[in-house]
Amino acid sequence: FAPTGFWARKIMEGNGITGKFDAVVVPAPAAGFVTRVYNDGNNLFVGQTCPSDTNLDGALNFFDVSVFLSNYNAGSLAADLNGDGVLNFFDVSTFLSSYNMGC
């Protein structure tokens, strides 16, 4: 498996999925992509996509903005898009820049 762009797989399905993985081992993402694990509460997805595709569906839309804002407001490092370990304006700026560039 040698991904060259967007990919996502549902790896778990059930009611009320909670918790997180200690590590996710996948090939390195293609340039401009990030590895993401997304839990919508009933499905768990893993994949690689552009940084602003926060719900891992391969499209940029309202749902990505909603997931980013929810993560940011909850203090989740899933919203730390610039990777400095701190949630601040720079993460919002990184999200908006990435969103405007598209996937």
| Domain boundaries of the chain, sorted by first residue | 7-101
Q: Give which of 27, 37, 38 is closest to 4, Cα–Cα.
A: 27
pTM for the model = 0.83
CB 49 within 8 A of CB 36: yes
Please state the rounded mean pLDDT for residues 32-61.
Answer: 92
Give pLDDT tens digits for 9-19: 998 888 877 77
Cα 43 to Cα 13, 14, 81, 89: the distances in Å are 4, 6, 23, 30
pLDDT higher than 80, residue 53:
yes
pLDDT, mean over the chain? 90
pLDDT higher than 80, residue 2:
no
Strand partners, 45: 10, 38
pLDDT higher than 80, residue 21:
no
Angstrom distance (rounded) from CA 77 to CA 86: 8
